[in-house]
Amino acid sequence: MAAAARHSTLDFLLGATADCNAVLKALQPIFQEQGMTETVHNWEDHGYLVTYIKKNGSFANLRIHPHGLVLVDLQSYSDDMKGREEVDQLLNKVEERMKELIHGNIKRVKRLPAILRGGVIDRYWPTADGRLVEYDIDEVVYDEDSPFQNIKILHSKQFGNILILSGDVNLAESDLAYTQAIMGSGKEDYTGKEVLILGGGDGGILYEIVKLKPKMVTMVEIDQMVIDGCKKHMRKTCGDVLDNLKGDCYQVLIEDCIPVLKRYAKEGRMFDYVINDLTAVPISTSPEEDSTWEFLRLILDLSMKVLKQDGKYFTQGNCINLTDALAMYEEQLSRLYCPVEFSKETVCVPSYMELWVFYTIWKKQTDI
């Protein structure tokens, strides 16, 4: 199996314009000592781009901008200790030479942790607002494609096993805060209540609610393979509740929630609580939703039809930084078939590495 590519960077922000030719002459010997072949590209007003290529396939790009930015990118294919030490030594020499040349007129030197590309274990997952996070993942526990999505469970040293659905970080064993928030943050009394969970294939919500002595919990999850993976590899989250699809006070239906909601609405079945824990990207097989927002509004409308007049609907929102998306979601609430009110709470979910907004929605009480 080919080695992964290790991408290292070193940036210099100078306190003045750069003498591009002087910088190039100062740094050239460092790369030439490595036996690297040099190619120089020169633009009159845009500085230099210099590439250095080694016989083993490693290469470096040196970009010298006249306005005072010098960038070094180095890609190597040896991820053993010796290879990493060689890269560090080369970058150390570049840094020392630049400090000698510029004589204290460097505003900032920045060396980021190396990015490993094409490795067996993928450690890089974006936050909801598009920032790149490197997780401390050390094992691929489960990786399967269901008819609906890719399902990964990866082990993190900090967060335990993490469920990732089609590239979206869903829940880690560390994330009880998520489960508690989407259940009402301990403010609700579930004793003797009828509860409907939409999604929730990791079993976390179901596991916590059955402890609270509800009358009956119905969980509707479309993907059996999510349940299969989680009941084996996410037991700190779901306990033994997914070992059987029926228990004394719960049942799990392996179905698309939209036809189930329509059936319950037609039958007049009502719930004290509806908890929407569907994945961020809709995977329903129903053709009615032309967009994510239409899908979300459809779920909301159908949920309100099966929610008791004094019932509550809980759901996750999004990252607190995505203010436009949150505002758009709240705008959908004004377009439902019945008037509703809502409150929201911001919670730190450990494995998300960002603050997350949760919603409580209820039917507006009308004066008789």
As annotated, the active-site residues are 277
Amino acid at 14: L
Looking at residue 364, the DSSP 8-state letter turns out to be: P
Of 278, 203, 212, 198, residue with least CA distance to 235: 203
Distance between CA atoms of 39 and 90, rounded to whole angstroms? 18
119's tokens:
């490795």
182's tokens:
């989407």
> How many residues are present in the chain?
368
CB proximity list for 57: less than 8 A, separation 6 or greater: 77
DSSP-assigned beta bridge partners for residue 161: 155
216-220: strand order across its sheet: 250-253, 216-220, 194-199, 271-277, 307-319, 354-363, 340-349
Of 202, 197, 190, residue with least CA distance to 315: 197
DSSP-assigned beta bridge partners for residue 313: 274, 361
Please classify residue 131 by burial: count the beta carbons closer than 10 Å to its beta carbon, then call 0-12 exposed, 13-18 middle and 19+ buried: exposed
Q: How many CA atoms lie less than 13 Å away from 29 in the CB half-sphere? A: 6
CA angle 332, 317, 263 (to 5 degrees): 65
Q: How many CA atoms lie less than 13 Å away from 79 in the CB half-sphere? A: 14
